[in-house]
Structure 1
Amino acid sequence: MRTYAPYITFPVAFVVGAVGYHLEWFIRGSPKAREDEKSILELREERKLQEQLGKDGTQVLSLKEKLEFTPKAALNRNRPEES
C-alpha cells in the first residue's frame, strides 16, 4: 500500500487544488480586474506625497524640540517620579 500512495494522493491533491483555484476565482472575480488596483503601499506613498505638497520642507523641528515629546521608557512608566 505504501508504494502506491503517491499514485493515489497526487491526482486527488491535483483535483482538490484545481477545484479550489477555480472556486476562489469564481468568488473573487477575474484576477485581471484586480491587477489595476493599487497596492496599499502605493496608496500610502501617494497620500504622504499629497501631505508633503502643502508643507514647507525647510521648516522642521529642532532636535531639542523633538526630544521634549519623546515618551519615557516603558520600564519606568509605573515607577513614582522622584522630586
Structure 2
Amino acid sequence: MWPVIWTAMRTYAPYVTFPVAFVVGAVGYHLEWFIRGTPKPQQEEKSILELREERKLEELAGQDSTQVISLKDKLEFTPKAVLNRNRPEKS
C-alpha cells in the first residue's frame, strides 16, 4: 500500500504543493504587513543635478555678479598645452 501512496504523492505533488505554498505566502505577507503597520509616504528625493543646481544658485546669491575676473587674468594662470611642455621655447 505504501508504494501506491508514494507514487500518488510523487505524481500529484505539484498540484498539492502550489496551493499550500500560495496560502503560506499569503498568510506570511499579511502577517508581515500587520506587524510593520501601514507604510509611511516617502518624500521624493532630489536628483544629483537638482542638488548641484541649488547649491550653485545659493553660492551665486551671496556674490556680487558685477565683479567678474577678466579673461586676460584667467589666461595667465592656465597651463601650457601638454604637448608643448617639453619643447624648447622659440625666441
Q: TM-score if structure 1 supplies the norm length?
A: 0.51
Match of 1:59 in 2: 67
- Structure 1: which 5+ residue stretches go unaligned? 1-31
| Pairing partner for 1:40 from 48, 55, 61 | 48
Q: Write the distance in 2 (CA, Å) between the matches of 1:81 and 1:43.
A: 46
Identity %: 70
- Structure 2: which 5+ residue stretches go unaligned? 1-40
Q: TM-score if structure 2 supplies the norm length?
A: 0.47
Deviations 1:27-57 (A, max 9, x none): xxxxx74x60000000000000011011100
Say which SS state the counterpart of residue 70 (structure 1) adopts. coil
Q: Which has the higher contact order (CA 8 A, sep 6+)?
A: 1
Q: Name which one, 1 or 2, has greater alpha-carbon Rg.
A: 2
RMSD: 2.0
User: How many pairs align?
Assistant: 50
Match of 1:49 in 2: 57
Question: Following TM superposition, by how much is the alpha carbon of 1:81 offset from its aligned partner in structure 2, in angstroms?
Answer: 4.6
Q: Which runs of 4+ in 1 moved over 4 A?
A: none
